[in-house]
Amino acid sequence: MARRTPRGALEMNQLPPVHLPTGLVVRHATRDDLGDAAALMVRTFNEDFGYGLRPEMHADVVDLAAAYLDKPHSALFVAVDATGALVGTAAIASWDRRHPTHPAWLAERYATVRSAELLRVYVAREHRRRGAARELIELARRWVSAERHFKLLILHTNAGVPGALAFWNATATLVHDSRPNEHNTVHFELALERPVPGSSGDATTREVRA
């Protein structure tokens, strides 16, 4: 069973780290993590999406501190292995209509209800299938829920990435498929009140591990 470190002197707006049976630790990012986090994001752009850093699309990656550490109602989470190497990321920010693939009805829904967007859920290829992605998402969900600012938790994925659509269909609720478009965009929402399936917060997962 995953175990959580006591709060200790953690900042009030942070949740304690989660230690996984696979040896990974999922936690809030610090400023010391930002260089490695950005490097993993750019690596993912190259390996999974077939293009590198595009400042017009990835302004948050260019300045992760401004996007997630210094902005209210935003957060960055990381997964690290036993050596301290950063192997996964996830982020939360207030939704804005950056992508033209949001249909008008969906953009209106997110503009009129305070919506948190789950972003940059990336795990290094050699560390996938170790529970990092689901645990990053679960920590992000718990943080959004604890903040009590947002009413919705939303995300989109590139369905052209192998395995992405199957993963999110098993993890979240499909709300709109925007394909065909340049980035194969599919939109999902996550329930704020319900643990992510397969995460340490999921009772079924705890029963299996017990």
Write the pLDDT tens digit of every residue in 136-189: 999 999 999 999 999 999 999 999 999 999 999 999 999 999 999 888 999 999
Alpha helices in the chain, H assignment, sequence order = 34-44, 59-62, 64, 104-112, 132-147, 164-171, 203-209
DSSP string, 63-100: THIIIIISSTT-EEEEEE-TT--EEEEEEEEE-----T
Write the pLDDT tens digit of every residue in 91-100: 999 998 776 6
Instruction: Examine residue 180 and say whether the peptide bond preceding it is cis (omega within 30 degrees of 0).
Output: yes
Question: At 6, is the pLDDT very low, low, confident or very high (cuts 50, 70, 90)?
Answer: very low
Write the pLDDT tens digit of every residue in 86-142: 999 999 999 987 766 788 999 999 999 999 999 999 999 999 999 999 999 999 999
pTM of the model: 0.90
pLDDT at 7: 40
Radius of gyration of the chain (CA): 16
Query: Domains of the chain (ranges plus CATH)?
Result: 3-209 (3.40.630.30)
